[in-house]
Amino acid sequence: MTRMEAGTGAEARLSAGAEPVRVTRSGPAPILVTGAPRSGSTWVGNVLALDPRSAYIHEPFNKDCPDGRCRARFSGAFTYVTRENEEPYLAPLADTLAWKYSPAAELRRLREPVSRRRPLSRDLARLVRDYSYFETMRRRGQRVILKDPLAIFSADWIAERFDARVVVVIRHPAAFIASLRAAGWQRVRFGIFSGQPRLMEDRLAPYRAAVAAAEAEMPDGVSAGALLWNLVHHHIALLREEHPDWIFVRHEDLSRAPESGFREIFTRLGLDFSEDVRSGLARFTSGGAALSKRSIFGTARRTMRNSRDSIALFRERLTPEELARIRDETGPLWQKFYSDADW
């Protein structure tokens, strides 16, 4: 499934006034799972991939994504792709969504003179692993579950060009900021937004002054996180108005009632919420010990969680003063998604 082929030349590009043209493909539509970083998109994406006819792809919009998985080069986070600037991204992402791994692109990247965080032998082992995974999924015709919070500002483009179904995960601003702190992500380079004038004009114009101020004087972790939450969730609020057919789900609602919440999402996406999926979901939502498990390449698995315990964890990680600041700095936007009782 999900065979996609990008056109070449004029067929692969659209002028500003052209009619929407989707990339040719066959089989069920890919599924994009997105939202702000640290909002549970990895958890949601992996649960959806429990459907035996589906499989998971991790963050092709991340500049650290191996070139073999996606040949597109994204210079920074939150790239805003539209029909006007799509040319460098269209064919590479079409290949990714068609399970077409590129060993040649990966080998070229490995030959680049950059400092290594791990031995070449491990990178080559990853190449073999990823190629085998993509090729197996391609031959089986698996439906793509594309998880990428960094694609949130390009969700419209992905939905239009690849006929993708979209799931957007929303998270409470205090929980989002507490999770950023726990991950050690205390600084945000807001130039990634101001350096994209079309993004600022089309989607983030109300925050132009706030972004400029944050660039001039880096705010502390609480204020930086609050501004980042505002930017992403302002865009999400617009998407919710523009796309009533998309799935918008709060992290907290899924955490409180994962089985009923995911069953509804599976049904809307045409996925099979089987007994095996239900059992797998239980493993993804109830095991704190599983958080310590690591993959063969040393990456901690972060998708296993005690989902109920995660809802109120921000009250332990943040002081009352910090909570008051977050509430003030994200208001009134937070009221589009949450009530007073959620604080």
Q: Cα separation of 274 and 235, whole Å?
A: 34
Helix or strand run (H / E) with residue 298: none
pLDDT for the residue 186: 80
Q: 103-157, pLDDT tens digit by residue?
A: 999 999 888 766 456 688 888 999 999 999 999 999 999 999 999 999 999 999 9
Cα 22 to chain centroid distance, Å, stands at 21
Distance in angstroms (rounded) separating the CA atoms of residues 253 and 102: 39
Residue reference for tokens 């901690």: 300
pLDDT at 7 over 60: no
Residues of the chain above pLDDT 70, percent: 83
pLDDT value at residue 310 = 76
Q: What is the pLDDT of residue 249?
A: 98
pLDDT of residue 14: 37
Answer yes or no: is pLDDT of 29 > 50: yes
Q: How confident is the prediction for the chain on average, in pLDDT?
A: 87
pLDDT tens per residue, range 217-245: 999 999 999 999 999 999 999 999 999 99
Q: Is 118 helix (H, G, I), strand (E, B) or coil?
A: coil
pLDDT at 23: 61
pLDDT digits (tens, 9 = 90+) for 278-291: 999 988 877 554 43
> Does the pLDDT at position 324 exceed 80?
yes
Return the higher-pLDDT residue of 15 and 196. Answer: 196
**In 130-243, which ranges are E strands?**
143-147, 165-170
Q: Which two tokens stand for residue 311?
A: 């809802």
Report pLDDT for 5: 32
Strand order in the sheet with 247-250: 54-58, 143-147, 31-35, 165-170, 247-250
Helix (H, G, I), strand (E, B) or coil at 22: coil
pLDDT at res. 285:
79
User: Taking residues 76-95, what's their average pLDDT?
Assistant: 96
CB 150 within 8 A of CB 62: yes
